[in-house]
Amino acid sequence: MGALTLPTRLSIAALCLAILMLTGCAGSAQRHAQPPEDYFARQLPGVPGSGKALMSPVDNPVAQLRSLQTPPPALIRQALLEQHQNWAGTPYRLGGDSARGIDCSALVQQVYRDTFDLELPRSTYGQVKEGREIDRQALQAGDLVFFRPPGPYQHVGVYVGDGHFLHASTSQGVTISRLDNSYWQRYYWQARRALETTHVAQLSRTL
């Protein structure tokens, strides 16, 4: 094969340069692409989005919660949101208490056990006797919220802040809902504070 002419060499060089530029742009776009805004950032003001690793092993809210003598409400809320991430997608199953299916009182029992190392009764009947009743306007992250929907069973969830609560919904499974939703507002019953600040402080010193 004969030597390439100067115009041919210049054309090949220009083509290679163009390919390198296109590859560089694609790589740059991939590196700088931002993840879509996550559920928590949309629904709960003040909660970090996907761009900030909420559940990284280094920055674990539950570990932080148990390391502080007086955990701030925001940290309690983050720890509860971690529990939601752990259980998200779990279907509702009456009497269930595992990832294969779980009911509302079992979810609350396990969330309290895993987050606060506090053992609650298994049933809503027992949980509604825990702690003290509080006004709806005084709700804080970690409080229990109870409902009396139609049917033979009561319903319970854990308040996570900003008007939202974590629960096992019969139609959606484990989810976060708004208290001012027309359905939940209609059947709201009461709220109870089973977890006092002094109790969290005591746990923090012993764990």
Gyration radius from the chain CA atoms: 25
Q: Which residues are catalytic?
A: 104, 155, 167
Phi and psi dihedrals of 27, rounded to 5?
-65, -40
Q: At what angle do helices 104-116 and 197-206 cross, to 10 degrees?
A: 50
Q: What is the DSSP string of 132-171?
A: EEE-GGG--TT-EEEE--SSS--EEEEEEETTEEEEEETT
Nearest C-alpha neighbor of 90 from the set 76, 109, 106, 77: 106
